Amino acid sequence: MTHLDSEITTLKNELGYMWELVNSQLDKTVQSLTAFDKDLALEVQEHEKRVNAIEINIDKACEDFIALYQPVATDLRFVLSTLKINNNLERIADIACGIAEFISDVDTGFNPDILEHMSALHMLSLSVEMVKDLKEAHQHENTALARTIFKRDKVLDSINDKASNLAMDCLDRFPDQRKHTLHVLSIIRKIERIGDQSKNIAEEIIFYLDAKVIKHKKKKKE
């Protein structure tokens, strides 16, 4: 293994560690919402600083890699995609922290009927699954798996589009739990952003592995 290959492996491992930490943040967010565990929600908020520190370290490592090795072709695509994926993962962790803050802001567990009617838990579980599948797609260089993210993101978008009307239903059905309904609506908005960040990561994986930029092609088609 050359020194360049060794540095690439180190970068992949560091990004993998970042990914695992973000996955852990998401898992804890799901648990804190379903079990109304405010201590776990607080832990998610506290660990956000750790995620931020790792993001900075990976960014610096990528900058050093470019300066020292002046990579081209696949190696250049790898480091550029690592920079962007790292940023997307940090944003996903930010979103998890924001959801945790909403959980910390209520005194009792969210009404399960509100969560069910607005499909909040289903949406959150789907977004967590997407981020985990993206890690596998990146690790195993599986662009087919990465492409499955686009269809699932549309499911998140669909739920988000219906959320306001469903929230109105819950405000009528549970007038004494207006805060819960509005917080669930805000959580859904945040989960939709996890889908957007996941789609960005999928695009970067495809760019790195297939040398194809699909972002603007998708926009044109839409």
pLDDT on residue 203: 97
pLDDT on residue 218: 52
Q: How confident is the model at residue 3 (pLDDT cuts 50, 70, 90)?
A: confident
Q: Is residue 111 part of a domain?
A: yes
Number of domains in the chain: 1
pLDDT tens per residue, range 71-118: 999 999 999 999 999 999 999 999 999 999 999 999 999 999 999 999
Q: Is residue 152 part of a domain?
A: yes
Q: Is residue 130 part of a domain?
A: yes
Instruction: Supply the DSSP string of 73-134, one letter for each residue.
Output: HHHHHHHHHHHHHHHHHHHHHHHHHHHHHHHHT-SSPPPHHHHHHTTHHHHHHHHHHHHHHH
pLDDT at 222 over 80: no
Q: Is residue 222 part of a domain?
A: no
pLDDT on residue 196: 98
**Distance in angstroms (rounded) separating the CA atoms of residues 152 and 164:** 20
Which DSSP symbol is given to 176? Answer: G
Q: What is the CATH number of the domain that holds 136?
A: 1.20.58.220
Q: Are 195 and 128 in contact (CB under 8 A)?
A: no
CA angle, residues 79, 63, 86, in degrees to nearest 5: 55
pLDDT tens per residue, range 58-82: 999 999 999 999 999 999 999 999 9
pLDDT on residue 219: 52
Give the pair of three-digit tokens for residue 142.
């599986």
Structural domain span for residue 172: 3-217
pLDDT at 2 over 90: no
Amino acid sitting at position 174: F
Q: Is residue 70 part of a domain?
A: yes
pLDDT tens per residue, range 120-154: 999 999 999 999 999 999 999 999 999 999 999 99
pLDDT at 54 over 90: yes
Rg (CA), the chain: 19
pLDDT at 42 over 70: yes
pLDDT on residue 221: 52
Q: For 163-175, b where at least 16 C-beta lie within 10 A, e where not — what string?
A: beebbeebeeeee
Give the pair of three-digit tokens for residue 49.
């600083």
**Per-chain mean pLDDT for the chain:** 94
Q: Is residue 172 part of a domain?
A: yes
pLDDT on residue 1: 67
**Distance in angstroms (rounded) separating the CA atoms of residues 136 and 65:** 24
Q: Is residue 180 part of a domain?
A: yes
pLDDT at 180 over 80: yes
Q: Which residue has the tokens 């973000």?
A: 22
Q: At what angle do helices 73-104 and 178-210 cross, to 10 degrees?
A: 170
Q: Is residue 200 part of a domain?
A: yes
Give the pair of three-digit tokens for residue 103.
């959980």
Q: Which residue has the higher pLDDT, 154 or 1?
A: 154
Could you tell me what percent of the chain has a pLDDT over 70? 95
**Distance in angstroms (rounded) separating the CA atoms of residues 28 and 51:** 14
Q: For 118-150, b where at least 16 C-beta lie within 10 A, e where not — what string?
A: bbbbebbebbbebbbbbbebbeeebbebbeebe
